Structure 1
Amino acid sequence: MRVKRYLVNTVSEALPLIRSELGSDAVILSTKDIKVGGFMGMFRKKRTEVVAAVEAQTAKPSKPRPSQQQQPSMNINTPQRPAASAAAAYGAAYEPNGRSTTATAVLDPLEASQVAERAAFVLQQAASIDKQVEEPIHTTSPVIQTSAPAASSSSTGSESTSRSELEHLLTTEIRDMKEWLMKLSRQKTIDSQPAAIRSLCERLEEQEVAAEWIDKLRDTLDELPEVQEGLVDSSFVWQRASEIITGWLTPFEHEGIGSSERNVYFVGPTGVGKTTTIAKLAAEQTLKAGKKVGFITSDTYRIAAVDQLRTYANILNVPMEVVFSPNEVPRAFSRLEDKDLVLMDTAGRNYRSELHVSEVNSMLNTQEAGTVFLVMSLTGRTSDMRVIAERFIPYGIRQVIFTKLDETTVYGTILNLMLEYGLQVAYVTSGQTVPDDISHFRAEEYVATLLGEPAHV
């Protein structure tokens, strides 16, 4: 298809030019009012841009202007590729910079036909770009000719914008085609793997483990000699997968509250169970470690939050301080200076807001160092938990406590967040009972829960 643009006073002025240069079969694709010329954005003239097109085989040849012959070609860096090479297009996905990425999948005839059709469409778009960026802009108005520099500048900008849009379209099509080819290739590889490995990957997908880690695990298993020789069963695959994932997660185990720890802070969204978790840890440290514990709370936004923590403080016979501003935090710590361990509860806020995160961070006592635990509920969505983690990581907070393990059957979020952000998990809670329903995070135990029993295939 051959496309030309015209700048005229009215659409009727463009019709004779279109007939004489493109022929009677030409069609008008669009018309648009634009302003050209002027000085510093003022006194600009209103003109009409007309875009017409005709099939290449029916277009009348037109002699190029002398100025056109002197101008260099404006072709983008897209090599001409004959449509006949569509059969090879599904074997190599072209990129805009001229490189190619080969896909090794062996496609079915129907798949090959679909890929060939899409490749032909992409090649047609590439050819269309080469033709369109070479087309000149025709003007017929004397006024436009008298203000040639400004009109030329406007035309060049419009042409550059059009070329950029077309190039973006072509790049998007090529990228989508490449992703499609890679997906087909990956699916072919998965289908050729042993049934036990396919079953394991399906289990991880059900647990909402990210595709990145599933592919990494699959590649690691494929390198095992037993897999290459076909000597695999479900028990073997589950055992080796458990060893591999445990090896990934073990470096991110956190020891929890150490014997020398004195100041511990808890942050997190509303409703994740921070207050109950603090009570569980306080009971553990009081009854098992024999420490003298004190509470501080700044959660004055939530109704009855202070009363809830005060109830636990009365049951455990530990003192509690309430603070309303960052200035009161050092004084509260000084009142509890005789305690071996001080646990501070912060307000649950909307942590999608950077302002709320900074407000909570200001409540932390910077004068006395301590450990800050981010508390997150496993009943939340992985995408939301990613946002929460990203809000606190800039403040150096990477220690995590996951709550409500007993209220979900999907555990892949823990693996995703640990590997993606390097979060260190200290505790996992699984109920409301104080202090029993809390335990240290152990990678081996978590992986056993994640994988479940080997599938029978």
Structure 2
Amino acid sequence: MLVKTFQAADMSEALKMVKAEMGLDAMILSSKQERRKGILGLFSKPYYEVTAALEQKPVQRPVYYQEKPERELSTKEEFQNSMLAPLARELRELKERVEALAKKETEKKEPAPVAVVEMPESEVKPFQPQREGAAPRTFAREDMEEIKKLLLNAVAAKEEKASKPVSFPVVAGGEMLEVKNLADDGDLSEEALELLATELRSEEVGADSIQALLELIRPAAELGEELEALRERLIDAFAGIIKCSGPLRLKKAGPRIMATVGPTGVGKTTTIAKLAAMYALNKGARVAMITTDNFRVGAIEQLKTYSKIMDVPLEVAATVKELETVLAKHADKDLILIDTAGRSPKDREKLEELKVYLESHPAIETYLCISATTRDREMNEIVANYSVLPISRLLFTKLDESESFGCIVNAQVRNKYPLSYFTTGQKVPEDIEVATARKLANLVLRETEQ
């Protein structure tokens, strides 16, 4: 970098000096007004001192042309670069074409392979050469038919030796199960039961549930029933281990009170709206809705919209006292549905607060809502942590978004809470149905209900 100081009578003149000598790319580092030193400097005029700098660019030195030393060419390179290379390439291509044509002619002359048919040894007669001078051997039509029959029998006997695999129904994921010939082992029942167990495991049904289901159909398997018949029995066997509560039954005296609880985002508010529409519009029951969810404005507004459409009253209860008040206000109703705020299953403090709400009235029945898309281990944690509340039923949502349904089986069998409803979408009130063991079995085994 070039640094230089300029002095002038005024600043403009100093800048002109910088521009003239260093150009427009110069940078001003400092500028100040000075007086000359000494006694005479007291009476002299002040001057301006400017320090400027210029970034010097490296000088591009000219590159002089230098001839590279020639490399000595090998004999092969000299040949390729010579006039003989094109001629050699043409001769090579011509040779390859001649060899290809010769090979093709040879293949045409070779006789086609003859199919060999095995004949039973009893039918094979020793060859008797024709005597010299004898008349040519002839065959009657009957002889030709007999020879043809012998050949066909030999082919059929050879085909019967091939063993054929036994095919079974398609399991989840579209995979076709094929096993070795069951007749070879002699134990048809165990093979069939193992196939059904594999089908259940593919739907993530727990080992304890699988064992309980298979024990119910084992007697029929040991009697030799076909696999399809055993699958039908397996569907019926679900009723032996899956407990369902059936629909909400209205009381003759006093309202039926139902509250939904569960993690955030599982669809509690929409489920409340579906049940309200089902009973108010389809069954003509007197219904009231209550929400304790004062955290989400959207939840209240959503229920207000359904309330207006169905002409069903909606109340907001922010405290336990307010909940007791609105329950008393609607004591003449047939059904009261309570929507609660979503709670994290790990937030013990919030769950204890919710417990106070739900135990404020002895008639409140608590339904735990769980998404069917929840993984099995997380579902166990949800049910275990929410068990501090007075849970009476399980309600599974978003079945239309789930890839497997074994977790529902596991949750019911493990925790003993009966299943109440299944929801499959956002339509109100269409996308809700009463949970049954057969419905769950058809979901797990990918069967269509008849």
TM bucket (normalised to shorter chain) is 0.5 to 0.7
Answer yes or no: is the 8 Å Cα contact 1:329–1:365 preserved in 2: no
What is the CA deviation profile of residues 221-244 of structure 1, one whole-angstrom value per residue up to 9, with x for unaligned ones?
Answer: 44x2x5346x24320221222222
Matches within 5 A, 1:229-244: 231-244=224-237
Percent of pairs identical after alignment? 34
Give me the TM-score of the superposition, normalised by structure 1: 0.53
Alignment pair present for 1:203 and 2:202: no
In structure 2, list runs of 5 or more residues that go unmatched.
1-186
From 437, 440, 444, give the equivalent of 2:434. 440
Answer yes or no: is the 8 Å Cα contact 1:326–1:362 preserved in 2: yes
Answer yes or no: is the 8 Å Cα contact 1:400–1:425 preserved in 2: yes
Alignment pair present for 1:280 and 2:274: yes
Q: CA deviation at 1:291?
A: 1.5
Distance in 2 (CA, whole Å) between partners of 1:296 and 1:361 is 16
Matches within 5 A, 1:133-148: none
From 410, 415, 423, give the equivalent of 1:416. 410
From 362, 370, 395, give the equivalent of 2:356. 362
Answer yes or no: is the 8 Å Cα contact 2:250–2:335 preserved in 1: no
Query: Is the partner of 1:235 in helix, strand or coil?
Result: helix
Amino acid at match of 1:371: E
Amino acid at match of 2:424: S
Distance in 2 (CA, whole Å) between partners of 1:218 and 1:336 is 49
Q: CA deviation at 1:451?
A: 1.6
Give me the TM-score of the superposition, normalised by structure 2: 0.54
Matches within 5 A, 1:58-457: 194-222=190-218, 224=219, 226-228=220-222, 231-249=224-242, 252-260=243-251, 261-364=255-358, 366-453=360-447
Distance in 1 (CA, whole Å) between partners of 2:441 and 2:271 is 23
**Pair 1:303–1:381, CA change in 2 (3 A):** farther
Amino acid at match of 2:238: I
Q: Which contiguous aligned blocks of 4+ residues in structure 1 show a shift greater than 6 angstroms? A: none
Q: Based on CA coordinates, which of the two structures has the bigger radius of gyration?
A: 2
Answer yes or no: is the 8 Å Cα contact 1:256–1:426 preserved in 2: yes
Q: CA deviation at 1:412?
A: 0.8
Q: CA deviation at 1:281?
A: 0.4
Query: Is the partner of 1:361 in helix, strand or coil?
Result: helix
Amino acid at match of 2:209: W
Answer yes or no: is the 8 Å Cα contact 1:196–1:232 preserved in 2: no
Query: Is the partner of 2:387 in helix, strand or coil?
Result: helix
Answer yes or no: is the 8 Å Cα contact 1:263–1:368 preserved in 2: no
Answer yes or no: is the 8 Å Cα contact 1:330–1:365 preserved in 2: no
Amino acid at match of 2:258: V
**Pair 1:393–1:365, CA change in 2 (3 A):** closer
What is the CA deviation profile of residues 409-448 of structure 1, one whole-angstrom value per residue up to 9, with x for unaligned ones?
Answer: 3111111111111111111111111111111111122212
In structure 1, list runs of 5 or more residues that go unmatched.
1-190
Answer yes or no: is the 8 Å Cα contact 1:373–1:397 preserved in 2: yes
Answer yes or no: is the 8 Å Cα contact 1:263–1:369 preserved in 2: yes
Distance in 2 (CA, whole Å) between partners of 1:388 and 1:435 is 27
Greater alpha carbon shift after TM alignment, 356-365 vs 280-289:
356-365
**Pair 1:373–1:273, CA change in 2 (3 A):** same
- Quote the RMSD (CA, aligned, Å): 2.3
